Structure 1
Amino acid sequence: MTSVCLMWLLLIAVYDFKQRRVPNWLALAGALLALATLAFGTSPLGGDWTNALLGAGIGFCGLLVFYALGVMGAGDVKFAGALGLWIGLSALLPVWLIGSLLAGVHAVLWMVLQRWPVLPGVALMLFGSPSQAVGDTSSTRVRFIPYAAYLALGAAVWMVWGRQSG
C-alpha cells in the first residue's frame, strides 16, 4: 500500500504545484484510501486506528488555525487531515517539519527572485503567477506557496527514508 499512498502524494503535489489548490475530491479519495488500508491492516506505516485518527485530527486542527488566519487554503487543511490518516500521529511532526522547511525555501527563493533586478521574470518562470484561492472573492491575499505539495513531498521523504532510521 505504500505505492498507493506515494501515488496519491504525487497527485497532490503535482496538482498543488500547478493549480495552487487541492481539490476536495482528491483529499477525500486519499482519506477513503487511508481508511481502507486501516480496515484491511495494510497501512503503509503499520499504524493503528488510534494513531491514524489522532494524526488526522491533529493534522486538520493544526492547520485549521492557519486557515482561520487567512494564510492557508482550505485544501491544505483537508489534505493535512487525510495525510494524518495515512501516516499517523507519530510521523506527523517530522513530516510537518520537512514540509515547512521546503515551503520556507520556496518563500525565500520567491522573495529573492522578485527583487532580483537583472531577470525579474525568472521568478514567474520558476514559480508561476500567484493565484488567489479559488472561490474566495472577498480576500485579496495571494497564495503562492503550494504548502500541500510540500507536505506531500515531506511525507514521501519520511515514508521512503525516515522509517529506515527509526
Structure 2
Amino acid sequence: MIHGVVILLWLGLCALQDMRQRQIANGLTLGAALLALIFLLWTGTTWLGAPASEGGWAFALALLLTLPGYALGRFGAGDVKLLAALALASTLDYLLWSLIGAALLQACWVLVSQRLRARRGRADAQVSTKQPFAPFVLTGFVLYWLWIH
C-alpha cells in the first residue's frame, strides 16, 4: 500500500510540473526510472511487488506504445520517460490501465475544451496547444488503484 502512495506522490509531482511548465524534469522521470530499475534488479520485483519479468515486459510495452507517438510529435520526451519509469515501478496492468484512462480522459478534456472555446466564439491566441499528459496518467493510475483496492 505504501509503495502505491509513493508512486501517487511521484506522479502528482510530475503532473503538477507538466501542468505548470508543459514539461517534466529529467530528475523526476529519469531519477524515478533509475531508482525503480535499481530496486527491480536488487529485489527481483517491481516497486509494487510484481516479478521482475513483468516489470521488463511493462517497460518494453511502454516504449513500444510511446516511441512511435514521440517520433510523430504526439508525445513529449517527458511523457515517454514518465511511462517508462511507471512501467519499471509497477505492473503491466497498472501501465495499461493508466494509459487507457489517460487517453479516455484526455479525449474527453479536448472535446469539452473545444466546445467551451466554440461557445465563447473566439480562440485564445496565447493558449498553448500542447496538452499536459501527466495529469491524465495520474488520474488513470488513481482510478485503477482505487478499483483494485
Aligned-residue identity in percent: 31
Structure 2 stretches lacking a partner, 5+ long: none
TM-score w.r.t. structure 1 length? 0.76
Equivalent in the alignment of 2:34:
32
Query: Which residue is equivalent to 1:94?
Result: 97
Structure 1 outlier segments of 4+, above 3 Å: 40-44
Partner of 1:133: none
> What is aligned with 2:136?
150
TM-score, scaled relative to structure 2: 0.84
1:135 equivalent in structure 2:
none
* C-alpha RMSD over aligned residues: 2.4
Q: How many residue pairs end up in the alignment? A: 146
Go from structure 1 to structure 2 and tell me whether the alpha carbon gap of 1:90 and 1:117 turns closer, same or farther (over 3 Å shift). closer
How far apart in 1 are the matches of 2:108 and 2:144?
18
Corresponding position of 2:50: 47
Q: Work out whether residues 53 and 88 of structure 1, in 8 Å CA contact, stay in contact via their aligned partners in 2.
A: no
| Corresponding residue number in structure 1 for 2:115 | 112
Report the AA paired with residue 101 of structure 1. L
Unaligned 5+ runs, structure 1 = 131-141
Residue of structure 2 in register with 1:162 after alignment: 147
Shift of 1:156: 2.6
Shift of 1:36: 4.2
Q: Deviations over 1:30-80 (max 9, x none)?
A: 212323443346745321111111111211221111111112211111111
